[in-house]
């Protein structure tokens, strides 16, 4: 029998990607799935899947402990707005929410990590077994951006880092060193779509640039920045032609499909380590 590993699975393809890789590596994956959020396909890759409603904290912890899980990952998207009235918390969740210093993502995920630790379960990096999908420094797709685009990207890097430091969002969309849209709770794709609506009203000019970064001192255990083929397709529809991602801290969901989408949309993708990457 392989090593047991727990997976607290949110929505989207990220949990499926990890579960498939873990199964391929001979791990037994015990999945905590969330009703109406986690994709049903997760069951194909799991040793066992147990479904819970959002807000049930005690049940999932008991389940993982009873299965002998000592290490777990927490990946996938969960609608943040649910914290503001979309959940019915159990007693353990209510206590967790009560002691939060705020309701930003970092505080919530940190509290969940503490609850796992109290049960003897280590929360591992969400890039576990997926390190080969982390963005590398340099040009990933397309041609080298021109000087104006690099200046816009450098400004966007500073803006996105300021935004992420306040735990507001990770993405900014720009044109000519002016921020058109900044991500908040709606997520990266919706931010890009909103920028596209504004872009249509601006008239002719340079295409937009999208910059997505990690938080300062990003905790790789949770809320790791991700990008995928859909990100590129949304950019193309909005009128953006350059995507900048933070190297080493951003995960590509399906590298082959992502690079194929970059070729299809003719979008330049650049992995950056710091603002100096644009010099």
Instruction: Check: CB of residue 91 under 8 Å from CB of residue 58.
Output: yes
- Boundary (domain end) residue, out of 90, 123, 156: 123
Q: What is the DSSP string of 168-234?
A: S-SEEEEETTEEEEE--TT-HHHHHHHHHHHHHHH-SSPPEEEEE-PPTT--TTS---EEEHHHHHH
Q: How many CB atoms lie within 10 A of CB 89?
A: 18
Count of domains for the chain: 2
**Domain containing residue 165: CATH number:** 3.40.140.80
Q: How confident is the prediction for the chain on average, in pLDDT? A: 92
Q: Which of 102, 123, 144 is the last residue of a domain?
A: 123
Q: Are residues 98 and 138 both part of a single domain?
A: no
User: Are 112 and 217 within one domain?
Assistant: no
Same domain, yes or no: 111 and 152: no
pLDDT at 111: 86
pLDDT score for 97: 78
pLDDT in tens, 216-268: 988 899 888 999 999 999 999 999 999 999 999 999 999 999 999 999 999 99
- Find the domain containing 255 and state its range: 131-278
All residue ranges of the chain with pLDDT < 70 are 1, 80-86
Please report where in the chains the tokens 């100096």 appear, as a residue: 276
């Amino acid at each position: 029998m392989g090593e047991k590993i727990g997976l607290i699975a949110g929505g989207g393809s990220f949990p499926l990607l990890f579960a498939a890789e873990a199964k391929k590596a001979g791990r037994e994956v015990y999945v905590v799935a969330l009703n109406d959020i986690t994709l049903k396909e997760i069951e194909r890759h799991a040793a066992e899947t147990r479904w819970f409603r959002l807000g049930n904290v005690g049940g999932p912890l008991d389940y993982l402990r009873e299965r002998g899980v000592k290490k777990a990952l927490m990946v996938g998207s969960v609608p943040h707005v649910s914290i503001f009235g979309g959940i019915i918390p159990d007693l353990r969740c209510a206590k967790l929410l009560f002691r939060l210093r705020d309701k930003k993502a970092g505080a919530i995920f940190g509290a969940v990590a503490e609850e796992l630790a109290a049960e003897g379960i280590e929360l591992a990096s969400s890039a576990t077994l997926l390190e080969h999908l982390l963005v590398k420094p340099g040009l990933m797709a397309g041609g080298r951006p021109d000087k104006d685009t690099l200046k816009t990207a450098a400004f966007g890097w500073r803006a996105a880092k300021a935004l992420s430091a306040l735990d507001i969002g990770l993405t900014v969309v720009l044109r000519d060193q002016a921020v058109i849209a900044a991500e908040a709770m709606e997520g990266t794709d919706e931010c890009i779509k909103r920028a596209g609506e504004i872009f249509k009203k601006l008239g002719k000019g340079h295409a937009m640039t999208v910059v997505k970064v990690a938080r300062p001192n990003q905790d790789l255990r949770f809320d790791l920045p991700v990008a995928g083929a859909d990100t590129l397709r949304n950019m193309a529809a909005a009128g953006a032609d350059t995507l900048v991602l933070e190297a080493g801290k951003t995960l590509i969901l399906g590298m082959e499909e992502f690079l194929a989408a970059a070729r299809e949309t003719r979008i330049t993708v650049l992995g950056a380590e710091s603002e100096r990457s644009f010099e």
